[in-house]
Structure 1
Amino acid sequence: MNKVILSLLLAGIGTQLIKIICIWVKTKQFSWKDFLVTGGMPSSHSAFVISLATILFLQEGFSSTFAVSLVLAVIVIRDAFGVRRTAGEEGMVLINIMKKLKMKQETHFSLGHTPLQVFVGSLIGFLVSIGVYYFI
């Protein structure tokens, strides 16, 4: 199988499975719906893009393809704990205002990621690609 595709699949699916376990440990409730949850520990977005950049670097070295994947990784990671985190915090403020005004609220949103969640996701993506490249 193509190592790039395998790395991406393992990093993406692996982090979502870890996320399910983290949610289960925290809430004592299990649901396969949590497989599709955004935000939380670890960041699957970070795992995915770091896995891509890592496997491309290992296969091609400093190529144009690697450079594009690295730029994509920087943008996605910055968005994960920067823009999305800020938007999520503002969403929490709006939810609190709606509660105080006794307005109906059925909104679900993600807070984005903390730097630790992004780091752990990135580490998983890196290690998955190293493993796929050298052992598969």
Structure 2
Amino acid sequence: MTVLTELLSNRWLWTAVVASTSAQLLKVLLILLLEWRWHPAAFMETGGMPSSHSAMVAALSTGVGLTEGWNTPVFAVAAAFAMIVMYDATGVRHSSGVQAKLLNELVDELRAVVREGFAPKPLKVLLGHTYLEVLIGSLIGVLVGWFSFRVL
């Protein structure tokens, strides 16, 4: 079996990718339904509802737990990895988004005072996630993982 064939048949990897993709698609649909605007670029953006990173690692952990067992070293690694990703999404990355918002406001105030030659690019604000966004992303991941390994 070639490396490419092995990668293409790796059910755990593709389950994680499907979960992440599903969360990103849901993000675009939620913007359409709640804000009445078509924003397909949101598919490639980080942050927002739901967390695709959380969906990905939750699906991976669920698939590993269902196939390898909940009391195995490989599940422990997958679960620890998932916890780190989710903690980072709500902690460091969320704080960075809040700081970016404040810095953008300061730049706007400075722009009003210093009119010539002062044109820095705004920082990206949606970097991290709220706890609810991570929770919903995780639930999507668990459902996709369960469906992939118990239904298909």
Q: TM-score, normalised by structure 1?
A: 0.92
Aligned-pair RMSD on alpha carbons? 1.5
Residue 42 (structure 1) aligns with: 50
| Higher gyration radius (CA) | 2
For residues 29 and 73 of structure 1, the distance between their equivalents in structure 2, rounded to whole angstroms, comes to 32
**1:6 touches 1:132 (CA, 8 Å); kept in 2?**
no
Does 1:132 find its partner at 2:148? Answer: yes
Structure 2 residue aligned with 1:63, among 53, 65, 72?
72
Residue 33 (structure 2) aligns with: 25
112-121 vs 6-15, which moves further: 6-15
For residues 79 and 120 of structure 1, the distance between their equivalents in structure 2, rounded to whole angstroms, comes to 16
58-67 vs 28-37, which moves further: 28-37
Gaps of 5+ in 1: none
Gaps of 5+ in 2: 1-8, 112-117
Query: How many percent identity over aligned positions?
Result: 37
User: Cα distance, 1:6 vs. partner?
Assistant: 3.1
Does 1:122 find its partner at 2:138? Answer: yes
Q: How many corresponding residue pairs?
A: 136
For residues 54 and 7 of structure 1, the distance between their equivalents in structure 2, rounded to whole angstroms, comes to 10
